[in-house]
């Protein structure tokens, strides 16, 4: 059952927030959806799923990215879930990069996190089923995200290439098994077995992707991003893509940082990129 929390008209369409009890995360989850003008049961539209980064909720992208005008023009719905399970009974840590607000879009295997931190199943299976059941959308979908969400978008697309028409990311954590954010999250959520870590690492997944499972990928990265060298490592991803001829396009953007100012500067290009594949 979906509980409608808000509804606001914008750019001729509607931005709405919903909450529901999740069977994946065993707690109440919230997501936002933008429905473009004209979306109806007789005119269903494709969907872009947006995954946000550390400390974010469903609200950051919808309020800061400036994406809704272009999405309205292109006739694309956007769904933005929360970044983790939340609630008094959901285990947490007093840090920004682990726990609530930092679910890393994986299925945790280690107690006490394995009961609730199943964001991979939530994004891949539960949320699309809910959206397709309750809203005027088609089954065609693309996926995108920022930072931790860029990591999640690429991992999910690489593991489910037939489910998405295209994938894009802003400032993604491309190689989490080789960066501090990834080491912390993976060791606590997944334990010490680094074979399990590889299931949530874009570089490792891409290495084992056959040409039959290639899908278009766009990455934008600011060269003034303070996390670029230690955490994001786009050069590792491009090296793997070049090795196997994966269809990745990396745009290094001069002077841009890690913020939503960066995202808002190039979100229209990402929406157009996805539109070209969603409509093909």
Residue 213 sits at φ, ψ, to 5 deg, of -110, 15
CB burial class (10 A; 0-12, 13-18, 19+) of residue 9? exposed
Specify whether 147 is catalytic.
yes
The four Cα atoms 60, 69, 119, 177 give a dihedral, to 10 degrees, of: -80
Q: Which helix (H) or strand (E) holds 7?
A: strand 3-10
Specify whether 166 is catalytic.
no
Q: Which helix (H) or strand (E) holds 189?
A: helix 180-190
Which is the catalytic residue, given 82, 201, 220, 225?
225
> Residue 158: helix, strand or coil by DSSP?
helix
Which is the catalytic residue, given 15, 116, 146, 258?
258
Is there a contact between 56 and 101 (Cβ–Cβ < 8 Å)? yes
Q: Cis peptide leading into 260, omega within 30 of 0?
A: no
Q: How many helices and strands (H and E) does the chain possess?
A: 10, 9
Distance CA 142, CA 133 (A): 18
Which is the catalytic residue, given 84, 144, 147, 171?
147
Residues 6+ away with beta carbon under 8 Å from 250: 219, 220, 221, 234, 237, 238
Is there a contact between 56 and 102 (Cβ–Cβ < 8 Å)? no
Catalytically annotated residues: 147, 225, 258
């Amino acid at each position: 059952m979906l509980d409608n929390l808000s509804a606001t008209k914008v750019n001729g369409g509607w931005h709405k927030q919903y909450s529901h009890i999740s069977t994946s995360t065993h707690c109440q989850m919230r997501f936002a959806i933008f429905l473009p003008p004209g979306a109806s049961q007789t005119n269903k539209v494709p969907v872009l799923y947006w995954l946000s980064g550390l400390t974010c909720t469903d609200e950051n992208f919808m309020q800061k990215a400036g994406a809704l005008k272009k999405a309205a023009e292109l006739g694309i719905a956007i769904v933005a879930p929360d970044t983790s399970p939340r609630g008094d009974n959901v285990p947490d840590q007093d840090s920004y990069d682990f726990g609530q607000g930092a679910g890393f879009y994986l299925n945790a295997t280690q107690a006490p996190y394995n009961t609730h931190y199943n964001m991979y199943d939530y994004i891949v299976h539960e949320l699309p089923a809910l959206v397709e059941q309750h809203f005027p959308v088609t089954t065609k979908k693309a996926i995108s995200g920022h930072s931790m969400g860029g990591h999640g978008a690429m991992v999910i697309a690489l593991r489910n290439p037939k489910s998405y028409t295209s994938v894009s990311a802003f400032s993604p954590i491309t190689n989490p098994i080789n960066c501090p954010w990834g080491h912390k999250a993976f060791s606590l959520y997944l334990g010490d077995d680094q074979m399990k870590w590889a299931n949530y690492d874009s570089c490792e997944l891409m290495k084992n992707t056959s040409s039959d499972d290639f899908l278009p990928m766009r990455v934008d990265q600011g060269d003034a991003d303070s996390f670029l060298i230690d955490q994001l490592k786009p050069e590792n991803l491009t090296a793997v893509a070049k090795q196997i001829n994966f269809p990745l396009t990396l745009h290094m953007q001069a002077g841009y940082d890690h913020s939503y100012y960066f995202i808002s500067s190039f979100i229209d290009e990402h929406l157009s990129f996805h539109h070209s594949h969603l409509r093909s």
